[in-house]
Amino acid sequence: MEFGLREWLIVIGIIVIAGILFDGWRRMRGGKGKLKFKLDRSLVGGADDDGDPDLLGPPRVVERHQEPSLDEHDLPAMSARELNRRRTSEPRQGDLNLGLDEPVPTLLSPVDEAAAESHNGAKKSVAKEPAPVEEVLVINVIARDGEGFKGPALLQNILESGLRFGEMDIFHRHESMAGNGEVLFSMANALKPGTFDLDDIEGFSTRAVSFFLGLPGPRHPKQAFDVMVAAARKLAHELNGELKDDQRSVMTAQTIEHYRQRIVEFERKQLTSKR
Protein backbone atom coordinates (compact mmCIF):
# COMPACT_ATOMS: atom_id res chain seq x y z
CA MET A 1 0.00 0.00 0.00
CA GLU A 2 1.52 3.23 -1.10
CA PHE A 3 1.19 6.49 0.86
CA GLY A 4 0.21 9.56 -0.90
CA LEU A 5 1.45 13.09 -0.05
CA ARG A 6 -1.41 13.66 2.36
CA GLU A 7 -0.71 10.46 4.28
CA TRP A 8 2.99 11.29 4.59
CA LEU A 9 2.19 14.75 5.97
CA ILE A 10 -0.07 13.18 8.60
CA VAL A 11 2.68 10.76 9.66
CA ILE A 12 5.26 13.56 9.87
CA GLY A 13 2.86 15.67 11.96
CA ILE A 14 2.30 12.79 14.38
CA ILE A 15 6.06 12.29 14.73
CA VAL A 16 6.61 16.05 15.43
CA ILE A 17 3.83 16.15 18.05
CA ALA A 18 5.21 13.04 19.75
CA GLY A 19 8.66 14.63 19.84
CA ILE A 20 7.28 17.81 21.44
CA LEU A 21 5.40 15.81 24.07
CA PHE A 22 8.48 13.72 24.85
CA ASP A 23 10.66 16.84 25.19
CA GLY A 24 8.15 18.41 27.56
CA TRP A 25 8.00 15.25 29.65
CA ARG A 26 11.80 15.16 29.84
CA ARG A 27 11.97 18.85 30.94
CA MET A 28 9.39 18.27 33.67
CA ARG A 29 11.40 15.36 35.05
CA GLY A 30 14.53 17.45 34.99
CA GLY A 31 12.81 20.39 36.78
CA LYS A 32 11.52 18.16 39.56
CA GLY A 33 14.96 16.80 40.22
CA LYS A 34 16.39 20.30 40.41
CA LEU A 35 13.74 21.53 42.89
CA LYS A 36 14.29 18.47 45.10
CA PHE A 37 18.02 19.09 45.10
CA LYS A 38 17.58 22.69 46.16
CA LEU A 39 15.23 21.78 49.00
CA ASP A 40 17.63 19.11 50.25
CA ARG A 41 20.49 21.61 50.31
CA SER A 42 18.45 24.11 52.30
CA LEU A 43 17.68 21.44 54.90
CA VAL A 44 21.38 20.86 55.55
CA GLY A 45 22.20 24.55 55.53
CA GLY A 46 23.72 24.69 52.05
CA ALA A 47 24.00 28.04 50.28
CA ASP A 48 21.72 28.77 47.35
CA ASP A 49 23.88 30.36 44.70
CA ASP A 50 21.43 30.03 41.84
CA GLY A 51 19.36 33.05 42.71
CA ASP A 52 16.26 31.55 41.13
CA PRO A 53 13.21 33.41 42.59
CA ASP A 54 11.07 30.27 42.11
CA LEU A 55 13.18 28.25 44.53
CA LEU A 56 12.47 28.11 48.24
CA GLY A 57 15.08 29.91 50.30
CA PRO A 58 16.09 29.52 53.97
CA PRO A 59 13.67 30.79 56.66
CA ARG A 60 13.99 34.41 57.73
CA VAL A 61 13.44 35.84 61.23
CA VAL A 62 11.02 38.74 61.22
CA GLU A 63 11.27 41.18 64.17
CA ARG A 64 7.99 41.74 65.98
CA HIS A 65 6.91 44.99 67.55
CA GLN A 66 7.33 44.86 71.31
CA GLU A 67 5.56 46.99 73.87
CA PRO A 68 7.81 49.49 75.67
CA SER A 69 9.11 47.96 78.87
CA LEU A 70 8.73 50.00 82.02
CA ASP A 71 12.38 50.59 82.77
CA GLU A 72 13.47 52.95 85.53
CA HIS A 73 15.49 54.96 82.99
CA ASP A 74 12.27 55.64 81.05
CA LEU A 75 10.61 57.26 84.06
CA PRO A 76 10.69 61.04 84.32
CA ALA A 77 12.34 62.63 87.33
CA MET A 78 9.85 63.50 90.05
CA SER A 79 12.22 65.20 92.44
CA ALA A 80 11.58 68.63 93.92
CA ARG A 81 14.49 70.06 91.91
CA GLU A 82 13.17 68.72 88.58
CA LEU A 83 9.63 69.88 89.33
CA ASN A 84 10.86 73.40 90.16
CA ARG A 85 12.88 73.46 86.94
CA ARG A 86 9.85 72.54 84.84
CA ARG A 87 7.58 75.01 86.58
CA THR A 88 9.98 77.90 86.00
CA SER A 89 10.91 77.00 82.43
CA GLU A 90 7.36 76.44 81.16
CA PRO A 91 4.93 79.33 80.56
CA ARG A 92 2.37 79.46 83.36
CA GLN A 93 -1.35 79.93 83.00
CA GLY A 94 -2.91 82.73 85.01
CA ASP A 95 -4.51 81.71 88.29
CA LEU A 96 -7.67 83.37 89.52
CA ASN A 97 -6.87 86.29 91.79
CA LEU A 98 -9.31 85.31 94.54
CA GLY A 99 -9.41 87.35 97.75
CA LEU A 100 -9.99 85.88 101.18
CA ASP A 101 -13.40 87.51 101.44
CA GLU A 102 -14.65 85.97 98.21
CA PRO A 103 -16.34 82.55 97.82
CA VAL A 104 -13.64 80.03 96.96
CA PRO A 105 -14.55 76.45 95.98
CA THR A 106 -12.26 74.42 98.24
CA LEU A 107 -12.35 70.90 99.51
CA LEU A 108 -13.52 72.12 102.92
CA SER A 109 -16.05 74.72 101.79
CA PRO A 110 -17.39 73.93 98.31
CA VAL A 111 -19.57 76.55 96.66
CA ASP A 112 -21.59 76.68 93.49
CA GLU A 113 -19.13 77.04 90.62
CA ALA A 114 -21.47 79.15 88.50
CA ALA A 115 -22.00 81.61 91.36
CA ALA A 116 -18.28 81.84 92.01
CA GLU A 117 -17.56 82.45 88.34
CA SER A 118 -20.20 85.16 88.19
CA HIS A 119 -18.82 86.78 91.34
CA ASN A 120 -15.32 86.95 89.85
CA GLY A 121 -16.30 87.54 86.25
CA ALA A 122 -14.98 91.09 86.16
CA LYS A 123 -11.51 90.11 87.45
CA LYS A 124 -8.66 89.24 85.09
CA SER A 125 -6.22 86.38 85.45
CA VAL A 126 -3.03 87.36 87.21
CA ALA A 127 0.14 85.29 86.92
CA LYS A 128 1.24 83.97 90.30
CA GLU A 129 4.73 82.72 91.00
CA PRO A 130 4.58 79.47 93.00
CA ALA A 131 6.75 78.81 96.03
CA PRO A 132 9.68 76.45 95.38
CA VAL A 133 8.76 72.80 95.92
CA GLU A 134 10.68 71.12 98.73
CA GLU A 135 9.08 67.66 98.74
CA VAL A 136 7.03 65.60 96.28
CA LEU A 137 4.55 62.82 97.09
CA VAL A 138 4.20 60.38 94.16
CA ILE A 139 1.68 57.64 93.39
CA ASN A 140 2.42 55.59 90.27
CA VAL A 141 -0.34 53.65 88.52
CA ILE A 142 1.12 50.79 86.45
CA ALA A 143 -0.99 49.04 83.79
CA ARG A 144 -1.40 45.29 84.30
CA ASP A 145 -2.26 44.84 80.63
CA GLY A 146 0.74 44.70 78.32
CA GLU A 147 -0.92 47.17 75.95
CA GLY A 148 -0.98 49.83 78.65
CA PHE A 149 -3.57 52.53 79.24
CA LYS A 150 -5.28 53.58 75.99
CA GLY A 151 -5.55 57.33 75.44
CA PRO A 152 -9.35 57.70 75.10
CA ALA A 153 -10.12 55.55 78.17
CA LEU A 154 -7.42 57.26 80.23
CA LEU A 155 -8.66 60.72 79.26
CA GLN A 156 -12.27 59.92 80.16
CA ASN A 157 -11.24 58.47 83.52
CA ILE A 158 -9.16 61.41 84.69
CA LEU A 159 -11.65 63.98 83.42
CA GLU A 160 -14.26 62.29 85.62
CA SER A 161 -11.87 62.78 88.54
CA GLY A 162 -11.69 66.50 87.81
CA LEU A 163 -8.25 66.69 86.20
CA ARG A 164 -7.75 69.16 83.38
CA PHE A 165 -5.01 69.48 80.77
CA GLY A 166 -2.73 72.45 81.46
CA GLU A 167 0.79 73.77 81.80
CA MET A 168 3.80 71.51 81.21
CA ASP A 169 1.49 69.46 78.90
CA ILE A 170 0.22 67.35 81.80
CA PHE A 171 -3.03 67.16 83.78
CA HIS A 172 -3.85 69.05 86.98
CA ARG A 173 -6.59 68.83 89.59
CA HIS A 174 -7.67 72.29 90.72
CA GLU A 175 -9.87 73.32 93.61
CA SER A 176 -12.77 73.60 91.20
CA MET A 177 -13.86 70.74 88.96
CA ALA A 178 -14.04 73.37 86.19
CA GLY A 179 -10.28 73.92 86.44
CA ASN A 180 -10.29 77.10 88.53
CA GLY A 181 -8.41 77.85 91.74
CA GLU A 182 -5.09 76.53 93.00
CA VAL A 183 -3.63 73.23 91.85
CA LEU A 184 -4.12 70.40 94.34
CA PHE A 185 -2.05 67.79 92.50
CA SER A 186 -0.99 66.79 88.98
CA MET A 187 -0.65 63.72 86.78
CA ALA A 188 2.17 63.11 84.28
CA ASN A 189 2.99 60.35 81.82
CA ALA A 190 5.33 57.95 83.65
CA LEU A 191 7.30 57.34 80.44
CA LYS A 192 9.69 59.95 79.10
CA PRO A 193 9.29 62.76 78.27
CA GLY A 194 6.41 62.67 80.77
CA THR A 195 3.90 64.66 78.71
CA PHE A 196 0.63 64.03 76.84
CA ASP A 197 -0.34 64.96 73.28
CA LEU A 198 -4.05 65.70 73.10
CA ASP A 199 -3.86 66.01 69.30
CA ASP A 200 -2.95 62.30 69.10
CA ILE A 201 -4.89 61.01 72.11
CA GLU A 202 -6.74 58.44 69.96
CA GLY A 203 -3.50 56.66 69.13
CA PHE A 204 -1.83 57.33 72.47
CA SER A 205 -1.04 54.68 75.10
CA THR A 206 1.27 54.47 78.09
CA ARG A 207 2.37 51.75 80.47
CA ALA A 208 2.06 53.99 83.54
CA VAL A 209 1.11 57.42 84.87
CA SER A 210 2.33 59.31 87.93
CA PHE A 211 0.17 61.37 90.27
CA PHE A 212 2.21 63.83 92.33
CA LEU A 213 1.63 66.52 94.95
CA GLY A 214 4.27 69.13 95.71
CA LEU A 215 4.97 70.62 99.13
CA PRO A 216 4.51 73.47 99.77
CA GLY A 217 1.46 73.41 97.55
CA PRO A 218 -2.26 73.45 98.26
CA ARG A 219 -3.54 75.20 101.39
CA HIS A 220 -4.98 71.93 102.69
CA PRO A 221 -2.41 69.30 101.65
CA LYS A 222 -3.88 66.39 103.64
CA GLN A 223 -7.28 66.79 102.00
CA ALA A 224 -5.66 67.31 98.59
CA PHE A 225 -3.66 64.11 99.12
CA ASP A 226 -6.84 62.18 99.91
CA VAL A 227 -8.38 63.39 96.64
CA MET A 228 -5.22 62.32 94.78
CA VAL A 229 -5.39 58.85 96.34
CA ALA A 230 -9.05 58.55 95.32
CA ALA A 231 -8.25 59.55 91.71
CA ALA A 232 -5.36 57.07 91.52
CA ARG A 233 -7.49 54.27 92.98
CA LYS A 234 -10.30 55.02 90.54
CA LEU A 235 -7.94 54.81 87.57
CA ALA A 236 -6.37 51.57 88.83
CA HIS A 237 -9.76 49.98 89.48
CA GLU A 238 -11.43 50.94 86.21
CA LEU A 239 -8.45 50.52 83.84
CA ASN A 240 -6.83 47.46 85.46
CA GLY A 241 -3.82 49.12 87.04
CA GLU A 242 -1.70 48.69 90.13
CA LEU A 243 -0.72 51.38 92.66
CA LYS A 244 2.95 51.80 93.48
CA ASP A 245 4.84 54.35 95.57
CA ASP A 246 7.76 56.56 94.59
CA GLN A 247 10.11 53.59 95.04
CA ARG A 248 8.03 51.44 92.61
CA SER A 249 6.93 49.24 95.51
CA VAL A 250 3.31 48.10 95.83
CA MET A 251 1.36 50.78 97.67
CA THR A 252 -0.40 49.58 100.80
CA ALA A 253 -2.53 51.22 103.48
CA GLN A 254 0.65 51.57 105.52
CA THR A 255 2.35 53.41 102.64
CA ILE A 256 -0.56 55.86 102.37
CA GLU A 257 -0.44 56.49 106.12
CA HIS A 258 3.31 57.09 105.84
CA TYR A 259 2.62 59.71 103.15
CA ARG A 260 0.14 61.45 105.45
CA GLN A 261 2.76 61.52 108.20
CA ARG A 262 5.19 63.16 105.80
CA ILE A 263 2.62 65.90 105.22
CA VAL A 264 2.14 66.39 108.97
CA GLU A 265 5.89 66.56 109.51
CA PHE A 266 6.30 69.05 106.66
CA GLU A 267 3.58 71.30 108.08
CA ARG A 268 5.21 71.13 111.53
CA LYS A 269 8.54 72.24 110.06
CA GLN A 270 6.82 75.08 108.21
CA LEU A 271 5.22 76.35 111.43
CA THR A 272 8.49 76.05 113.32
CA SER A 273 10.41 78.02 110.68
CA LYS A 274 7.88 80.88 110.87
CA ARG A 275 8.29 81.38 114.59
Contact criterion met (CB below 8 Å) for 268 and 274: no
What's the average model confidence in pLDDT over 9-18? 79
Specify the pLDDT at position 30: 58
Amino acid 86: pLDDT: 56
Least confident of 86-100, 105-119, 214-228: 86-100
124-148 per-position pLDDT tens digit: 444 456 678 899 999 999 999 999 9
Instruction: Give 193-243 pLDDT, tens digit per residue.
Output: 899 999 999 999 999 999 999 999 999 999 999 999 999 999 999 999 999
pTM over 0.85: no
Weakest-pLDDT range from 33-37, 75-79, 99-103, 247-251? 99-103
Integer Cα distance of 153 and 161 in angstroms:
13
Output 120 or 256, whichever has higher pLDDT.
Answer: 256
Are 11 and 4 contacting, i.e. CB atoms less than 8 angstroms apart? no
Of 64, 127, 67, residue with least CA distance to 95: 127
Rounded Cα distance, 174 and 169, in Å: 15
Q: Determine the average pLDDT of the residues in 251-269.
A: 96
Q: How confident is the model at residue 46 (pLDDT cuts 50, 70, 90)?
A: very low
Query: Quick check: 53 pLDDT over 50?
Result: no
Q: What is the pLDDT of residue 167?
A: 92
Q: What is the pLDDT of residue 87?
A: 57
pLDDT of residue 36: 44
Query: Which residues neighbour 180 within 8 Å (Cβ) at sequence distance 6 or greater?
Result: 96, 105, 113, 116, 117, 174
